[in-house]
C-alpha cells in the first residue's frame, strides 16, 4: 500500500479523527508513551496526512533519543516540506492537545486505529478486485488467487501482545501445576501410542510440529493414525494437498475395520463378517471430530485463511497439513524454492502461536538419505531444511528398516513392520526413538510389544 493513500477513500472515509487526535495528544504531552506505540503503530495507520507528519516527527525524535515538547514540535513541522506555516501547525497542535485522550485508554486507541487501517486496506483491495474482474474475464483463477493473496497480506500482521509481568506468569504456571496435582491433568494432545506419548509429552499448544520421511515411508499413515486416535474428543482439521478425501476415508475405514484397501476396492466380493466390520467402522468414523480439505495446489494465503475461518467456527484443537512442499507461495518471486518454503514455514509457525493450537506439517526428506550407508534420517535431511529445522518446535523423522532391507526374507514376508519415530528435536521435552509397529496392508500403527 502507498504511504499517502488518503485520496483513495474520499467517497467513503474510513477513519476516526477523534481517536487519532486522542492518541497524538497523549504522545505530545508524554513522549515516553511512544515506547508503547512504536512497535504497534506505523505512519500509515493514521489516515489524516498532517497527523501522519506529527507522528513521524515524534517518532524520529524518540528513536534518536531526543527530547521534544510542543514548541519544538511546531518548529520542526514548520520546517518540514509540508508547505504549511507556523501558525497552521500551532493551531493544529493546539486542537490535538485540546482533544487529548485518557492514558488508561491508550491500548483501545491503538486497536481502533489499527482496525480502521485494516478496513481501508480491505476497501482498496475490493475496489481493485472489481477492476481485476473486468480486466481478466478469461482468467478467473488469477483474479481469485490475487484477491486471496491481497486479503491474506492485510490480515497476516497481528497486534503484538503487551508485556506481562513475571509475577502474573508465575501464578499462571503454578495454577497449571496445581491442576496436574489435583486431577492428573496432562498437557498436550496424546495420540494413544504409549512409548511415543511418554517421550514427546503430547502435541502442545502453539507448537509447530514437522513430521518428515522419504516417499512411501508412512508419513500419511502416521498422520492419519494420530488423527483417528485423538478425534473422539479433539477437533482436528486435515488439509490434504496430495490425497483426495475419498482415499483418506478409505484409509480410515481400512485401519479400523482391519480390511485391507485392496479388499475394499473389491467390495462386492467381501464376506459377511468383513462387511459388518466395515459398517461398524463407518459408524465410528461418522462420530469423529474431523474436517478435511483436499484442495490441491493451495497457496499459503488461502490455506491460512481457511484455517483461521474454520478455527473461528469450530474452535479446533489441532491442524494437520499434508504436506509442506506442496503449498504454493503467493505471487512473490523468490530466488529459490528453499527461500519460498522458509517463508511458508515461518507463516505456519506464526499461525500456531496466534491460534494457540499445535499445527503438524508433513514434510519430505531429501535424497541425501539414499546416498549414505546409514539410512536412519537426521534433521539435516529435511528438504529445503534451513528454516524448517529452525522454526519447528518438534521434528519427527520416520524410519522403516524393511524399506531398505526388503531382500532379507525375514523382512520380505512380513505384513507388520517395525516403524521408528525419531524425535530429533523437542523444544519442550525429551528426544529419542519411539519403536512402533505398522501394518502396511491397512495402515494401522500400534505400540510395539
List, for residues 376-388, the tens digit of each pLDDT value.
888 877 765 567 8
pLDDT band at 1 (very low <50, low <70, confident <90, very high): very low
pLDDT for the residue numbered 196:
93
pLDDT tens for each residue of 167-208: 777 877 787 777 766 655 567 899 999 999 989 989 999 999
pLDDT tens for each residue of 129-145: 888 888 887 777 777 77
Using an 8 Å Cβ cutoff, are 220 and 245 in contact?
no
Q: What is the mean pLDDT of residues 427-433?
A: 87
Q: What is the mean pLDDT of residues 357-368?
A: 88
Beta strand segments in 345-443, E: 359-364, 394-399, 416-426, 432-439
Owner of C-alpha cell 490434504: 240
Following CA atoms 398, 403, 408, 411 in sequence, which dihedral angle do they give, to the nearest 10 degrees?
60
Topology match between the domains 6-155 and 187-447: no
Using an 8 Å Cβ cutoff, are 375 and 359 in contact?
no
- Residue ranges of domains in the chain: 6-155, 187-447
3-class DSSP state for residue 202?
Answer: coil
Topology of domain 6-155, CATH? DNAb Helicase; Chain A (1.10.860)
pLDDT for the residue numbered 223:
95
The pLDDT of residue 163 is above 80 = no
d(CA 390, CA 186): 27
Q: What is the mean pLDDT of residues 270-286?
A: 90
Q: Which of 147-151, 172-176, 393-397 has the highest mean pLDDT?
A: 393-397
Q: Which residues of 143-174 are buried (b: 16+ CB within 10 A; e: fewer)?
A: bebbbbbbbbebeeeeeeeeeeeeeeeeeeee
Using an 8 Å Cβ cutoff, are 289 and 233 in contact?
yes
Q: What is the mean pLDDT of the chain?
A: 83
Q: How much of the chain, in percent, has pLDDT values that exceed 70? A: 88
Q: What share of the chain is helix, strand, coil (3-state, %, to 5)?
A: 55, 15, 30
The pLDDT of residue 3 is above 80 = no
Residue 204, all three cell numbers: 502442545
Nearest to 218 by CA among 379, 418, 61, 9: 418
CB atoms within 10 A of CB 243: 18
CB atoms within 10 A of CB 413: 7
Answer whether CATH 3.20.20.70 is correct for domain 187-447. Answer: no
- pTM (two decimals): 0.67
Supply angle C-alpha 128, 133, 135, rounded to 5.
90
Following CA atoms 17, 18, 24, 27 in sequence, which dihedral angle do they give, to the nearest 10 degrees?
-160
pLDDT tens for each residue of 292-350: 999 888 888 888 888 888 998 899 999 999 888 888 876 555 666 777 788 888 888 88
pLDDT for the residue numbered 2:
40
Residue 151, all three cell numbers: 486479503
Amino acid at each position: 500500500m502507498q504511504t499517502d493513500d488518503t485520496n483513495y477513500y474520499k467517497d467513503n472515509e474510513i477513519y476516526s479523527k477523534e481517536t487519532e487526535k486522542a492518541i497524538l495528544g497523549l504522545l505530545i504531552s508524554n513522549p515516553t508513551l511512544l515506547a508503547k506505540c512504536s512497535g504497534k503503530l506505523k505512519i500509515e495507520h493514521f489516515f489524516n496526512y498532517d497527523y501522519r507528519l506529527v507522528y513521524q516527527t515524534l517518532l524520529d525524535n524518540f528513536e534518536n533519543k531526543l527530547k521534544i515538547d510542543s514548541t519544538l514540535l511546531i518548529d520542526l513541522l514548520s520546517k518540514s516540506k509540508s508547505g504549511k506555516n507556523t501558525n497552521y501547525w500551532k493551531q493544529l497542535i493546539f486542537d490535538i492537545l485540546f482533544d487529548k485522550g485518557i492514558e488508561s485508554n491508550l491500548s483501545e486507541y491503538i486497536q481502533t486505529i489499527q482496525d480502521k487501517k485494516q478496513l481501508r486496506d480491505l476497501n482498496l483491495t475490493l475496489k481493485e478486485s472489481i477492476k481485476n474482474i473486468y480486466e481478466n474475464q478469461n482468467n478467473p483463477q488469477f483474479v481469485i488467487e490475487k484477491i486471496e493473496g491481497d486479503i491474506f497480506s492485510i490480515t497476516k500482521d497481528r497486534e503484538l501482545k503487551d508485556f506481562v509481568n513475571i509475577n502474573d506468569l508465575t501464578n499462571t504456571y503454578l495454577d497449571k501445576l496445581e491442576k496436574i496435582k489435583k486431577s492428573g491433568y496432562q498437557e498436550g494432545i496424546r495420540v494413544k501410542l504409549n512409548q511415543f506419548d511418554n517421550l514427546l509429552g503430547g502435541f502442545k499448544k502453539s507448537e509447530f510440529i514437522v513430521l518428515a520421511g522419504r516417499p512411501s515411508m508412512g508419513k500419511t499413515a502416521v498422520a492419519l493414525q494420530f488423527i483417528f486416535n485423538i478425534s473422539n474428543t479433539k477437533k482436528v482439521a486435515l488439509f490434504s494437498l496430495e490425497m483426495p478425501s475419498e482415499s483418506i476415508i478409505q484409509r480410515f475405514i481400512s485401519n479400523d475395520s482391519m480390511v485391507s484397501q485392496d479388499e475394499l476396492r473389491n467390495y462386492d466380493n467381501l464376506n459377511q463378517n468383513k462387511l459388518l466390520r466395515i459398517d461398524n467402522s463407518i459408524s465410528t468414523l461418522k462420530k469423529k471430530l474431523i474436517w478435511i480439505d483436499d484442495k490441491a495446489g493451495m497457496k499459503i494465503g488461502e490455506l491460512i485463511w481457511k484455517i483461521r475461518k474454520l478455527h473461528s467456527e469450530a474452535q479446533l484443537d489441532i491442524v494437520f497439513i499434508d504436506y509442506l512442499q506442496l503449498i504454493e507461495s503467493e505471487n512473490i518471486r523468490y530466488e529459490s524454492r528453499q527461500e519460498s518454503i522458509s517463508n511458508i514455514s515461518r507463516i505456519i509457525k506464526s499461525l500456531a502461536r496466534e491460534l494457540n493450537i499445535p499445527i503438524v506439517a508433513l514434510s519430505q526428506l531429501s535424497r541425501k538419505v539414499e546416498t549414505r550407508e546409514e539410512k536412519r534420517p537426521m534433521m539435516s535431511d529435511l528438504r529445503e531444511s534451513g528454516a524448517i529445522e529452525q522454526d519447528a518446535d518438534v521434528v519427527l523423522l520416520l524410519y522403516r528398516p524393511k524399506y531398505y532391507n526388503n531382500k532379507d526374507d525375514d523382512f520380505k514376508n512380513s505384513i507388520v513392520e517395525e516403524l521408528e519415530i525419531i524425535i530429533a528435536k523437542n523444544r519442550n521435552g525429551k528426544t529419542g526413538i519411539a519403536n512402533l509397529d505398522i501394518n502396511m496392508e491397512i495402515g494401522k500403527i500400534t505400540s510395539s510389544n
